[in-house]
Amino acid sequence: MQQLSIVIILLAALITPLLLNRFQISALPTSVVEILVGIALGPSLLNLIQNDGILKALSGIGVIVLLFLSGLEIDFGIFRPGSKNPSQLEQKQRAAASKYSPLKLAGAGYFSIMVLSLLLGFIMKLTGLFNDLWLAAILFMTVSLGVVISALKERDTLGTSFGQIILLISALGEIVPIIGLTIYASLFGTNSKSLWLTLIVFAVAGLLLYRFRNFFKHLDQINKSTTQVDVRLAFFMIALLSLIAVSVGSEAVLGAFVGGMVYKLLQPSESTREKLDSIGYGFFIPIFFIMSGVGLNLRQLLSTPSTLLLIPLILAGYLIAKLMLYPILRLRFNRKNALAGTALPMATITMVLAILNVAAELKVITPQQSGDFLLAAIITCVVGPLTFNHFFNPAKDIYHNIKLNIFGVNIVTIPLDQQLSRSWYDVMVYTANPKSYESFNSEANVSLLPTLDAEYLSDHGYFDCDIALFAYLDAEKNYQLAKAAKRYGVKRVIARFEDRNVKNSHEKELTSLGVEVYNTFSISIAMLRELIEVPSTFNMIKSNETVIHEVTLKNQNYIGIPLRQLPFIDQITINRIFRKGKIVQPTGDTTLQLNDRIIFSTASPHRSESNRIRSEIAKLN
């Protein structure tokens, strides 16, 4: 019977995402659906699964792997301070930025969650609904990082200040509860040891970080398809730190979570992350989620009136604990986005399951109470993302166009300004020549400069942009301005050099500064070569009715599938694929790989969709 239970669980784990995709169900996180499937397979409905033996062990491994991968999701770049020697542009941007930085807002936001969670735990104890104040508070302050990241990625918001604030709140919503759980287990567990012994886990983690700090720099030299040393290192860290955590009287989940953070600091490659995700989310974690549902007996839970009262009250507790996020987010964002940012962290499931697992082992919670907290958490994973998607508004306080400043008016820069997408770029064209200004100011957004002195341009904000293009015929002028712009802090500087002698004498210096150099002669040769090799691409390049985009594939949904099966393939033409420095000529059967650099074009009827498609291909998920 046990072997049959394993087969049923694995079949359910396989079918669940297929059905979600088939019926286009995206409102519910897969983990929540897997718990619901477990409820259906367990004693609540069909009673097909036995919750013991091998499945119990696999479920235990699943929660440990889940916490390891959760630690791997922490973005330590959020905690990094700004540059100690900022450029002039960075200084201006910092001064102009909201005084409420992402770090300040996230810190204040999560502090409010902690305060409200403690207050709610006290109220539950005072009213007799749940007598363990500390456990209730730890549960209420949890946030599901996985659900939050998934929702932010879907709306392409992860890299924005809004996304970083919500991400940091969610990261704290896993870090703080896991620390709180460790302290709780050490103080109230029957086999608890000194809390200070927990520091051994962090000491060993530090040693692992030091010992393997250069591991991924040399991975290609030692790794083979039959060894997968990077995966072996991950599971070694999981096993070692989990064992040490248990040995010092803490919980295995703490060791696994710390192991994930250490592994993230080693900067694993994207392919390593994929392999670990495949093992975790492909096998162990679905078993854990499904078995969590199997462990719930809804018939028994709902048979008592106290449960019917407790579930909505616990649900209210999960939601109320995050309500103070709204006035904090309102300091920087509009009303709708503040509501969306308040709703999303209300979703909690991962840490709740881990905490309830530990609480059950410590025998500080009854199965009925555990079921109440879990059912309420499942509901939050429906309410949170749905509310977020309803209120989220991609306004200017979230997304920002790329600012391009073009210096020099000629027969190339004016058409360039006219043809660049206004939904993607904010373009300004500058000239110091009154005749050029009079000739072209009606054709494009041209401004007349009193001088081209680099100091004047920087002092008056003309270098305040993401991209600066210097397109004068005078190569020496472009050289001086390009250097000044780069020193000022402009991220991308492009300079025109028609004089080969000037380019040769300055090329090394410009390259070291990160300046991109072009000349019309080289471009003409490249275009002629393109005409000979790929005439269709050349026709698209010279056409004003065609938009060409370059994008790097990050979306996991399109990896390994043929081009002909892309859902938007009828709206675009894929012209070239660059893979690991080599050109791949695309056909309908060409399969895409992670980090492929794709050159695609869209014709006039689909130009409005081109930016959406570009974002879809580049979306991290």
Mean pLDDT of the chain: 84
* Contact in structure between 462 and 405 (CB atoms under 8 Å): yes
Condensed to tens digits (0 to 9), the pLDDT of residues 59-107 reads 989 989 988 988 887 777 666 666 667 777 777 766 656 567 788 899 9
Question: Tell me, what's the pLDDT at 284?
Answer: 93
Integer Cα distance of 427 and 408 in angstroms: 13
Confidence of residue 7 (pLDDT cuts 50, 70, 90): very high
Looking at the structure, tell me whether residues 345 and 263 fall in a common domain.
yes
Domain assignment of residue 574, given as a range: 533-618
pLDDT at 542 over 60: no
Can you give the CATH number for the domain in which 149 is found?
1.20.1530.20
DSSP code of residue 546 = -
Can you read off the two tokens belonging to residue 433? Answer: 């020549």
Query: Are 606 and 472 part of one and the same domain?
Result: no
Confidence band of 535 (pLDDT split at 50, 70, 90): low
Does residue 581 belong to any structural domain of this protein?
yes
Q: How many CA atoms lie within 13 A of 382 on its CB side?
A: 11
* Residues facing 492 on adjacent strands: 467
Residue 194: predicted pLDDT: 64
Let me know whether 455 and 585 are in one domain.
Answer: no
Distance CA(322)–CA(248), nearest Å, equals 33
pLDDT at 325 over 60: yes
Which pLDDT value is given to residue 98?
Answer: 58
Complete DSSP assignment for 303-345: TSHHHHHHHHHHHHHHHHTTTTHHHHHHTTS-HHHHHHHHHGG
The 10s digit of each residue's pLDDT in 564-589 is 888 888 888 887 888 877 788 888 88
Segment 197-212 mean pLDDT:
92
- Percent of the chain whose predicted confidence (pLDDT) is above 90: 31
Average pLDDT over residues 118-139: 94
Q: Is the pLDDT of residue 544 over 70?
A: no
Q: 153, 170 in Cβ contact below 8 A?
A: no
Tell me, yes or no, whether 377 lies in a domain.
yes
User: How confident is the model at residue 124, as a pLDDT?
Assistant: 93
Instruction: Examine the domain organization and report whether 365 and 460 are in the same domain.
Output: no
Residues 149 and 268 in one domain: yes
Instruction: Say if CB 482 and CB 493 are below 8 A apart.
Output: yes
CA dihedral (470, 476, 480, 482) positive or negative = positive
596-606: average pLDDT:
73
**Domain check: are 489 and 547 in the same one?**
no
Q: Long-range contacts: 424-430, Cβ < 8 Å, 24+?
A: 424/611, 425/401, 426/401, 426/402, 428/403, 428/404, 428/465, 430/405, 430/406, 430/462
Strand partners, 552: 597
Q: What is the CATH number of the domain that holds 538?
A: 3.30.70.1450
Beta bridge partners of 518: 496
pLDDT at 81: 60
- Choose the final residue of a domain: 489, 518, 547: 518
The pair phi, psi for residue 547, each rounded to 5°, is -110, 130
Residues 420 and 475 in one domain: yes
Q: How far is CA 15 from CA 9, 29, 103, 201, in A?
A: 10, 15, 41, 39
How does residue 142 score in pLDDT terms, banded at 50, 70 and 90? very high
Among 391, 413, 444, the domain-final residue is 391
The verdict on 121 and 259 lying in the same domain is yes
Return the closest-CA partner of residue 322 out of 142, 124, 184: 142
Q: Are residues 155 and 243 in the same domain?
A: yes
* H/E run at residue 446: strand 446-448
Structural domains of the chain, count = 3
Residues 189 and 120 in one domain: yes
Instruction: Using pLDDT thresholds of 50, 70 and 90, give the confidence band for residue 260.
Output: very high
Distance between CA atoms of residues 24 and 200, nearest Å = 47
528 within domain boundaries: no
The stretches of 28-132 forming alpha helices (DSSP H) are 30-41, 53-72, 88-96, 102-127
Percent residues over pLDDT 70 in the chain: 88
Residue 397 inside a domain? The answer is: no
Confidence grade of residue 614 (pLDDT, cut at 50, 70, 90):
confident
Terminus-to-terminus CA distance in the chain, angstroms?
A: 38
Pairing of strands 515-518, 492-496: parallel
- Residue 552: its pLDDT value, please? 85
pTM: 0.71
305 with 268, same domain: the answer is yes
> Is pLDDT above 60 for 315?
yes
Has residue 526 been placed in a domain? no
CATH number at residue 428: 3.40.50.720
In a domain, 396, yes or no: no
More confident residue, 473 or 468: 468
One-letter amino acid for residue 350 of the chain:
T
Q: How far is CA 112 from CA 101, 109, 140, 141, in A?
A: 17, 5, 12, 10
Q: What single-letter amino acid sits at 217?
A: K
pLDDT in tens, 446-466: 999 999 898 999 888 899 999
Joined tokens for residue 586: 């695309």
Residues 6+ apart with CB under 8 A from 541: 527, 530, 548
